[in-house]
Structure 1
Amino acid sequence: MPKREKGLKLKSDTRTSARAGSNGRSAGFRAGWNDGYFLGMCEAIGRRTPGFRAEPRKLKVLYIPQGFESVDHGVMEGLGQTVTEPIAGNPETMAEQARECRPDLVLVMNGLHVFPENHLEQVDRIRAMGVRTAVWFADDPYFTQDTAAIAPHYDYVFTHEIGCVDWYRSIGCANVHYLPLAASVSRYRPAHVDPRYRSDVCFIGTAFENRAAFIDKIARFLSGLRVVIAGGLWDARLTRYALLAGQIRLGYTPAEECARYYAGAKIVLNVHRHTAEPKNTAGLPGRSVNPRTFEIAGCGTLQLTDVREDLPLHYAPGEEIAVFSSPGEARERIRYYLNHESERRKIAWNALMRTRRDHTYAHRLDRLLGTVFGDG
């Protein structure tokens, strides 16, 4: 090539490179401005809706955790706002702890899985001391075979599943109340996150068969997006695993990591598990939302969820949360909201405001304590 042509080519490449650099800087500026504006609005919402505000009750509550990281953290956070003496206990020694500290209430989360064989014997001993006891079931209705034996030992039964209330009453429990779970606003909140937590679409959860079948039906569509799927069994149950393998993180995701993924996503999917489980011997349907519903909303992210019966009690579909009834509809909603940023953000902001106003663990604990101590 002649020298002059080489020179012209170099000049042209330089101009092209300069334009590309300018375009990159402009795109980066726009993205940074958009993120700043979004998070600024989230901060303003947080200031306008600071959450639960009331004087703590002069009560001592011994809380026995289940081992659900998000829930246990949220309950202790809520008790810290609602009672003067919250105490974190241990399933192995709760009767001894109750004897030593003489609480006004022993509150047990779930009473399943990690609890010792003498769990119910300990509950009976605590009641014999004259201490009130309450259990809050967070796995209903998937383990009715087990909870049928547990519930009658407690003074008060609270369940996050609205469809279990009458059933617990039918097996002899006198004080049964519907009490949804909630979000820890200190953990599940809007945040600026590292790029590795950012995505167009995020789903976190175990690959139960209905979830794997759902993702299979939209896998080809998702493969063209920036996606995060995290949880166990996806490699075993997702037929189209190869399409998404590079965007799937297998195994357990700690709560703090979940919060970052939620905060970094444009859309978070929520697909409830089916209730046809071997230990749901009562055959009860799932009518209530999972705790993830509140946690996603608390991060200021658009949530796209399948519908459970009690969802409208918590969030207004189309205004505070987006819903779908089939994989095809979910695909179209994802496409729509990715292309309509202002609508997506408005719904996310509305959900954040509603969560902070109505759905913190302090709100739930205030309701529980009011029920137990007669002022709610």
Structure 2
Amino acid sequence: MQQRTSYSATPLYSADGTLCDIEISVGTRRWKMLGAAGAPRELSILVSSPARDAAALLPVFIGSGTGIAIRKFMESYDGPLAVVDKEPDIADHTGIRQHVLARAGSVWIDSDSADDALRRLTLWQTANGAAPLRAMLNPAWLRLDRSYYAAVHEAVTASEKADFWGKVAYPRFQSTTPRILLITSQYFLMGEVVAALNRMQVPYELLALDDDSLGQNEFVERLLKAVVSFRPDFALTINHLGVDREGVLTDLLARLQLPLASWFVDNPHLILYMYKRLVSPWTALFTWDADNLESLRRLGFAHVFHLPLGTDVTRFVPLQNPDASHPLRADVSFVGNSMVYKVAQRMKAGRFPAVMLRSYKTVAAGFSNSDERCVRTYLEQARPDIFAAYLQLPASEQRLAYETMITWEATRQYRNSCVRQTLAFHPLIVGDKGWRTALRHEPATWRAHSELSYYTDLPWFYPLCTINFNCTSKQMKGAVNQRVFDVPACGAFLLTNKRKQMDELFEPGKEVIFYSEPDEAPELIRFYLKNSAARAKVVAAARSRILAAHTYEHRLRQLMNDMRTAFGRP
């Protein structure tokens, strides 16, 4: 890539004191921007772009020159314009920057990066009616930094030639089955979504985010191409993946009038916390936890829906002949993370003051036992001493790290207390090495196994266990987790903790068996270990309900209907 030219700029004045030219010096070479040709040389860039065309175009000056052309253009054009110019030494002499910025809606873009300059141009374009751009290049600027100004000129010229915004102004939701643009990643749920859409024969296109090196401009370019070629009715992402914190994608989708559905299957507040520009009338949030509905609406989102988790019943299927002699066969098993290392990682990342470190276990215990769903609100109401320290944290990333640490520590404490209730039954605990630390003082009555793959291992593992024990994370105090659907789907028995939203999904005592407090678990374990007929009856009822109401096809059908209701036009 060509390096930027190192130069100096010297203003030249006429006898009456007005600026008449600027001399550029590069080493021993010198040249005048206007030279003997004078003002007509710079004004020539207007010949192919007269002001009369500006009603349908957004003018973009690439290089400000001496300001003669821009001033002449503005005499007959009263709309907004953009100038891309990162040469402050020249602009300071001409005074043209202040003249441009005095015009309402106009912008001066001085980004050092061409990619960032184009991003800012796109934002300006969308804010001003999204008309095509018209490039006016000052050739002298190519001598200053050819790679930068040529790249900007090429992109703006391409925008001028292609009526992009006309191509994307197609009506949405015109067919019975919508077309979905999937903003994808390696997140586990997207595989299930793709498989379900295939089974439902719903047309979709993938916009992958798998490459960590993918730049923002490249992602936006791929998105725009997909919108033109595929013509989706809406875009779908999981946990806001692909939505940048600065709001570029949100603004762009709003300009496109392309609705975005974001399905949160983790705590949305721990994710949305980091976003500066969240709210858009073209964004719909779906949350697996109904407790989040009101708090998300309070953030300003107009379209908020409850969409529980589900399961892929083509993956989680009953085993015909479970291997009774398999080394992982167990009367009682638990699958889950100890949260020991997760808490430690957040603690290290946050670098919290001593007052917050000394109290984090008691704060987490209080949060766990409260009805409050948000750590910040809990601190404000119940721990004003820690809340004051929390507010003093210098960065939002630290506050997020603290809220996450408290949530995970609350989960660690609760999960530990639940799992301990199973130890008398010689359980198999599948998870991270933190369990060896968490249970190091307990008798060696339990077996440990490393983490199993969700996709390749758990579907055959669950049926090997007489009782699959479950306890839900404290990031969701009312919702049920994935195992409530997966375990019965593959014909296995589940004992889980009570969740308030459980009754809306399953019939208690018939389709789901739960304990309200950890110390209730042992009695239930004893009963169902001895009563195979009772277990089988619950499993059959639960699986029947799942097949009828809780597959990913059911979830996606609901999501599509909600998007049509929110954004479809009669």
In the superposition, relative to structure 1, how do residues 217 and 126 fare at CA in structure 2: closer, same or farther (>3 Å)?
A: same
Please point out which of 221, 224, 227 is paired with 1:99. Answer: 224
Deviation at 1:341, TM superposition (A): 0.5
Partner of 1:287: 478
- State the match for 1:61 in structure 2: 180
Which piece of structure 1 moves more, 185-194 or 300-309? 185-194
Q: Does 1:132 align with 2:259?
A: yes
**Of 260, 267, 272, which aligns to 2:467?**
267
2:338 and 2:278 map into 1 onto residues whose CA distance is 29
Matched, 1:174 2:302: yes
Cα distance change, pair 65–230 in 1 and its aligned pair in 2 (3 A): farther
Q: Is the 8 A contact 2:262 2:284 kept in 1?
A: yes
Q: Residue by residue, what CA displacement relative to the aligned partner does 1:204-250 show, whole Å, maximum 9, x if unpaired?
A: 1111412122222432x122xxx3321122123234466255x2113
Supply the distance in 2 between the matched residues of 1:138 and 1:332 (Cα, whole angstroms): 32
1:145 CA displacement? 5.8
Corresponding residue of 2:288 = 160
| Alignment partner of 1:77 is 2:179 | no
CA distance in structure 2 between the aligned counterparts of 1:240 and 1:339, rounded to whole angstroms: 29
2:425 is matched with 222
Partner of 2:502 in structure 1?
Answer: 311
Q: Which moved more, 1:84-93 or 1:344-353?
A: 84-93
Task: Indicate the residue corresponding to 2:533 in structure 1.
Answer: 342
Pairing 1:212–2:380 present:
no
Matched-pair contact (CA < 8 Å) for 1:107–1:134: yes
Matched residues in 2 for 1:187 and 1:339: separation?
A: 29
1:202 to 293, 317, 333: 333
Aligned equivalent of 2:239 = 110
Q: 2:435 aligns with which of 227, 234, 243?
A: 234
1:147 Cα deviation after fit:
6.9
Could you say what secondary structure the match of 2:429 adopts? strand
* Residues 289-344 of structure 1, C-alpha deviations (whole Å, 9 max, x = no match): 11221111211111111111110111111101111123332111111111110111
Cα distance, 1:57 vs. partner?
4.3
From 342, 355, 358, give the equivalent of 2:549. Answer: 358
- Give the secondary-structure state (helix, strand or coil) at the position aligned to 2:337: coil
Structure-2 separation of matches of 1:142 and 1:118: 14
If the length of structure 1 is used for normalisation, what is the TM-score?
Answer: 0.73
Stretches of 4+ aligned residues off by more than 6 angstroms: none
Q: Per-residue displacement from partner, 1:337-371 (whole Å, max 9, x unpaired)? A: 11110111010011111111100011011011001
Among candidates 313, 317, 341, match of residue 185 of structure 1: 313
5+ long unaligned stretches in structure 1: 1-55, 276-284
Q: What is the alpha-carbon distance in structure 2 between the residues aligned to residue 120 and residue 241 of structure 1?
A: 50
Q: 2:245–2:276: 8 Å Cα contact kept in structure 1?
A: no
Cα separation, 2, equivalents of 1:167 and 1:374: 22
Q: 1:248 to 1:125 in 2, by over 3 A?
A: same
Distance 1:157 1:67, change over 3 A: same
After TM superposition, the score normalised by the length of structure 2 is 0.49
Instruction: Name the structure, 1 or 2, with higher relative contact order (CA <8 Å, separation 6+).
Output: 1
CA distance in 2, matches of 1:359, 1:371: 17
Shift in alpha-carbon separation, 1:353–1:174, aligned structure 2, 3 A: same
* Equivalent pair of 2:311/2:552 in contact (CA under 8 Å): yes
Equivalent position to 1:89, from 202, 207, 215: 207
Go from structure 1 to structure 2 and tell me whether the alpha carbon gap of 1:150 and 1:188 turns closer, same or farther (over 3 Å shift).
farther
Distance 1:323 1:118, change over 3 A: closer
User: Which amino acid counterpart does residue 338 of structure 2 have in structure 1?
Assistant: A
Q: Distance in 1 between matches of 2:552 and 2:506?
A: 16
Contact 2:289 2:306 in 1 (8 A): yes
Gap runs ≥5 in structure 2: 1-174, 340-411
How far the C-alpha of 1:151 sits from its partner, in A, is: 5.0
Partner Cα separation in structure 2 for residue 142 and residue 215 of structure 1: 28
Kept in 2: contact 1:218–1:328 (CA 8 A): no
**Equivalent residues of 2:421, 2:521 under 8 A apart:** no
What count of residue pairs does the alignment treat as equivalent? 304
Taking a change above 3 Å as real, the CA distance of residues 321 and 59 of structure 1, as seen in their structure-2 partners, is same
Native 8 Å contact 1:132 1:155 kept in 2: yes
Separation in 1, partners of 2:336, 2:536: 24
1:125: how far off? 2.1
**1:234 maps to amino acid:** W
Deviates further, 132-141 or 122-131:
122-131
Distance 1:339 1:135 in 2: 44
CA RMSD of aligned residues (A): 2.7
Partners of 1:139 and 1:80 lie apart in 2 by 25
Change (3 A) 1:361 1:151: farther
Q: 1:84 to 1:214 in 2, by over 3 A?
A: closer
- Which piece of structure 1 moves more, 179-188 or 321-330? 321-330
Go from structure 1 to structure 2 and tell me whether the alpha carbon gap of 1:118 and 1:299 turns closer, same or farther (over 3 Å shift).
same
